[in-house]
Structure 1
Amino acid sequence: MGQSAGQVDREAQRILEQQQQQARDRAEQFEQSRSRPPAGGTIESQIAPVADNGSCVAVRNVRLAGADRYRAGTFEDALGTLRGDCVTIGAIDGVLRAITDRYVHDGFVTSRAVVGPQDLKSGILTITVIEGRLGGLKGAGSGKRYGGSEIAAAFPARPGGRLNLRALEQGVDQLGRMAKGDPKIDIAAGDTPGTSVVLVTRQPLARWIRPSVSINNEGAASTGRWQATKSLDMDSLLGIADSWLLYHQGAASDDGERRNLAYGGFVSLPHGWWTLSLSSGFSSYGSVLSGNGLRFATRGRTYTGAATLERMVFRDAKTKFSLTGGLALLDTRNFVQGIALQSSSYRIVTGTLGARWQRRLARTQLSLSEGYDQGLGLLDAHTVDTGPGGATGRYHRVTLDAAAQTPLTIGPSRLTNTLVLRGQWGFDNLFPANRFSLGGSSTVRGFRDDGISGRTGASLREQLGFGIVDVLKAQPHLATSFSGYLAYDVGGIRPVAGDPFERGLLQSMSAGLMARSRHVQAELTVAVPVTAPAWVRHPQALFSSSIRILL
């Protein structure tokens, strides 16, 4: 009986781990669908070189006026080259270009250094920097435009300040979080000399409200294999470039014993360099598990909530770096035969700090995210006493996510190589919802009903995608792109003394076929497990499928 109860307890914990992995996948998909990588382009100053006719002037001293953006002495080395008995026009032009290039490199694309009319008999040369100012931001274009409140919320730039391309790129990224349009900017001369007006245009891509339905067979056998999801994406409900996602997921069929339900939502609220992300969700399940000829009724429910504030602290043409901080709540209760599972019933509040770095290197897009999580005693957080060395809600954990994506062209073939590395290091024994879980479509394919988990682990996915064919390209509503991929997944859990199940290695090979059109997205995958611990149940080959219809 004890062995049977222990087996059922492990299976119940696996259900909870799967539900939490699904919740993390939804949050990651929401963020990825609304983030834009660095553009990777560079801008050169537009100053045409001046013809040097060989004439020169004597310069005893050089004065720099208007360069308020930089500290005194920033351009001293360049200015020093203009002191002499015979300074040519070409030398002066070279210094003007050097000063202007520095401004342009730092994003001040409308600033420039000039030499105005002056009497050089005194031997004093004055170089004036005209720091371009922002005269205003406004929606433009012949079709649907962005609203004034959307533009004000998205762009950190304000009229009267120096016009900086990085601030404009940030605003474009914030507007781009809404799928209703692709934002573009043009810079036009302002009404006042030295000012420019930024015209923000919207290329319509979709409606502001986008319902969809999807179905897949990636659910657990114990709670329902086929899962149906209804979701609703919405843009700018508050009129401030906010982005929303509401979802409802459940078993596609209910046999009275196996059931699962999940619903919730996400919202992203931009404010210039800042982005506030909020989420809330509820999930529940019911199942009948068997062990040693006995049947155990299990059920559980989980509430989650999170608030994350992100600050973009640095960006240039190829790099973005941001810092995040947040608070997350998880409240779960799980039962077997009506009796609460101590190891799976708790309320945990987590404080998070993180950093995210993105870099475009040639054609490769790199990203690296690091985080530190700590369990806190806030909001009535509580856990059961699991004894010395047992799981704790006041835990400490470090997480790491890294990815590299490179498009390749071999003859007529279009390839994309994607490498994804994930991991965490737990400094304490963790409850199931906080453990690193392996086995599933987002970690190691080929394992669905069983897997491994632990406080410390890592996974790696190497995937090569390739285009197959595009059909009906002349009809935008019917145009469909077919593609495929080959992948290798591997993941491991660091062994811990005293727990025979907190260890192991999973490996699999998989191949997939995808079809994507304006209204339909479908995927079919076959995965073959290669390596697994003896206690992990898995088929020789696992077929999974999904289809999503955009209404």
Structure 2
Amino acid sequence: MRAVLGTAGLLWIGVVHAQSASPSFAEQQELRERAEREAREREQRQALPDVSREQPAAATDLHSLELPDEEPCFTLQQLQLDGAHLGQFAFLQRYLDRYRGRCVGQQGIALIVRRASDLALAKGYVTTRIGLPEQSLGSGTLRLQLVPGVIRQIRFNAEEVPDSMWKSAFPARPGDVLNLRALEQGLEQLKRVPSQDVNMELVPGEAPGESDVVISIRHGKRWRASVSLDDAGSRATGKQQVGATAWVDNLARVNDLLSIGVSSDGSADKGRGTHGFNASWSVPLGNWRFSTSTYSSRYKQTIASNADTFASTGTSSNVDLAVERLLVRGQSYRSGIELRVAQRSSHSYVEGVEIEGQRRRTTSVELALLHRQYLGRVQADVRLAHRRGVPWLGGDDDAVGRDDLAPTFRYGLTTLDIGAGGALTSGPRPLAWNTALRYQWSEDALYGSEFISVGGRYTVNGFDGEVPLGGSRGGYWRNSISWMAHRAIAPYAGIDIGHIERDDRQGIGGGTLSGAHLGARGELGGWAWDGFVGVPMSRPAWLKHEARGHVIGFRASWQF
């Protein structure tokens, strides 16, 4: 028992070199898994469909208020917009008011009407028209007639598709003023389902100003599965990792997505290993998207002491609920907000005896701003989030009399994620670039499970991740260039850099490391593969004897 307790004490101190705030092995395992999840989530965000539809360019300069000098001209005391749904077109009235006091003639009036029409078009009201009724300008009032374009109906071109499909995807309803941005939102929600090939067409309705939104949809196989093999594990629990994932689309017929996956080290070694489970489900509702996910893992490793060897095991589980809402959408951008509540629990054991000091049950709430911007060929995604530790759902609380320098469960943590990429050349074999930045900062002392760590294939390639550099404040910047040399082969190269800020409160020395990598990836049929070689370029002095001269990694998968 004394030896067991001694080993437990060793685990409590941690295994990372010379940092008193170092994460325990269980927390290191969790940080490694989190880095992989964040990389996958970043890829998924950047892969969301672009559904911006081409629309006629504005024929006039909307920023100009210049009018031609004409004789005769009439001084405008008031510009009045008449018609239905005026509340939605208040921006037009505000624009027209800018011409008050101007003396205009026939050409100037026509220019004002064209500019107002172009402004409505730029806002997405592509079927709305603005006319000029017969009138006398002797009173100084110019009246413009608004004829809003409205949606007569939204329908699929196939009768077997239930209405619940479009009702869950589109924020617009029959009778609403037709706005292309709302239709693009619905089209995007439909296209998020991988097994659906969706197109949309506007067809004139029976009455003037009415339009039918006709959706053509082709369904593929609603379920998919894949198996994978990689070497992203740790030496202590098994480098080789195998996984299997199944996806089901439209299980509830509301454009929902369900995924279930399992993973394991795939080793017959009973002294070490990892096993994991994950599941997620998401469903759209117009401008909203609701999702929930859970993932759990357990590990086992063997630790040798002077007297004996001991089995060290641990478990962790996570559950989170998220709701996302679109705030604004334009032809080349969209912005939204996300609220997420998550709970995480973990336990560590030595020879079946729990290390109570490493028992965790934490709850957090996170608010994030999301933005996507298109700049020519470049697509950029930004996520700025603030997370707080809260006592909800039985979350751990700080001990009475906690030292101000000690880690806290009531932390505040801000993260910034930026991902951008695009084609550098056109043609069938384009050269493309991709960059990703992640940074976090906190004024609080954090537990190791909330650290950001750098050094590994998902953060700074060139390091094996066995001895990561971690802390409360820091981040990494990944950069790569790829070339589609063949439909099944795409060589790539990249340079990554990571930095952890020094924190004397927690004994974190910090430092900067960088690495370079060269690899190739490809797809053929249902097969996908990725292999690379990475080398460290720079690292803190204390890490030099811990890091290898190079790393080799691979991943292979088959989807069916």
Q: TM-score, normalised by structure 2?
A: 0.86
In structure 1, the residue matched to 2:168 is 153
1:286-309 deviations in whole A, cap 9, x for unaligned?
Answer: 111346685332111111100111
1:459 is displaced (CA, Å) by 0.4
Q: What displacement does 1:177 show?
A: 1.4
Asked if structure 2 preserves the Cα contact closer than 8 Å seen for 1:343 and 1:431, the reply is no
Task: Select the residue among 442, 464, 471 that pairs with 1:447.
Answer: 464
Residue aligning to 1:18: 32
Q: Does residue 477 of structure 2 align to residue 460 of structure 1?
A: yes
Instruction: Describe the SS at the equivalent of 2:28.
Output: helix
Q: Report the counterpart of residue 244 of structure 1 in structure 2.
A: 258
Over 3 Å counting, the alpha-carbon distance change for 1:30 and 1:319 in structure 2 is closer
2:150 aligns to what? 133
Structure 1 window deviating more from structure 2 (287-296 vs 459-468): it is 287-296
Q: Structure 1 length as normaliser, TM-score?
A: 0.87
**Among 439, 445, 468, the residue aligned to 1:429:** 445
Structure 2 partner of 1:286: 300
Corresponding residue to 1:521 among 523, 528, 532: 528
Stretch deviating more after TM superposition (120-129 or 441-450): 120-129
Q: How does 1:508-547 map to 2 (within 5 A)?
A: 508-533=515-540, 534-535=542-543, 537-547=546-556
In the TM superposition, what whole-angstrom CA distance separates every residue of 1:377-422 from its partner, at most 9, and x where no partner exists?
1111126749522222211111111122131018986211112110
Decide which of 137, 143, 166 is 2:181's aligned counterpart. Answer: 166
Amino acid in structure 2 at the alignment position of 1:464: I
Partner of 1:227: 241
- 1:412-440 per-residue CA deviation (whole Å, 9 max, x = no partner) reads 86211112110111222222221112222
Distance in 2 of aligned mates of 1:440 and 1:275: 32
Query: Aligned match of 1:255 in 248, 254, 269?
Result: 269
Whether the aligned pair in 1 keeps the contact of 2:204 and 2:212 (CA below 8 Å) is yes
SS across alignment from 1:240: coil
- Contact 1:212–1:550 (8 Å) recurs in 2: yes
CA–CA distance in structure 2, aligned partners of residues 400 and 457 of structure 1: 11
The aligned counterpart of 1:550 is 559
SS at match of 2:486: strand
Which stretch of structure 1 is more off in the superposition, 513-522 or 18-27?
Answer: 18-27
Q: Residue 13 and residue 241 in structure 1: after superposition, are their counterparts in 2 closer, same or farther (change >3 A)?
A: closer
Any residues of structure 2 matched to 1:257-276 within 5 Å, and which?
A: 257-276=271-290
2:514 is matched by which residue type in structure 1? Answer: Q
Partner of 1:195: 210
Number of equivalenced pairs = 525
Unpaired runs of 5+ residues, structure 2, are: 1-5, 16-22, 61-69
Q: 1:394 and 1:279, CA in 2 relative to 1: closer, same or farther beyond 3 A?
A: same
> Is contact 2:516-2:535 (8 Å) kept?
yes
8 Å contact from structure 1 (residues 334, 345) kept in 2: yes
Instruction: Give, in angstroms, the shift of residue 532 of structure 1.
Output: 2.9
Aligned partner of 1:70 in structure 2 is: 89
Equivalent position of 1:346 in the other structure: 360
Closer/same/farther in 2, CA of residues 272 and 97 from structure 1, 3 Å limit:
same
Aligned equivalents of 2:539 and 2:10: distance in 1? 23
Matched, 1:107 2:124: yes
- Checking the alignment, whether the CA contact within 8 Å between 1:145 and 1:202 is kept in structure 2 is no
Q: Deviations over 1:338-362 (max 9, x none)?
A: 3433553210000111101111112
- State the superposition RMSD in angstroms: 3.0
Structure 1: segments with no counterpart, 5+ residues: 48-54, 471-480
Structure 2 CA distance, aligned partners of 1:538 and 1:137? Answer: 60
In structure 2, the residue corresponding to 1:523 is in which secondary structure? strand
Contact 1:452 1:502 in 2 (8 A): no
- Quote the offset at 1:546 in angstroms: 0.8
Aligned in 2, Cα 1:465/1:203: closer, same or farther, shift over 3 Å?
farther
Deviates more, 1:502-511 or 1:120-129: 120-129
Displacement after TM superposition at 1:539 (Å): 2.1
Return the offset for 1:328. 0.4
Residue 182 of structure 2 aligns to a residue in which SS?
helix
For residues 236 and 261 of structure 1, the distance between their equivalents in structure 2, rounded to whole angstroms, comes to 29
* 1:392 pairs with one of 408, 414, 428: 408
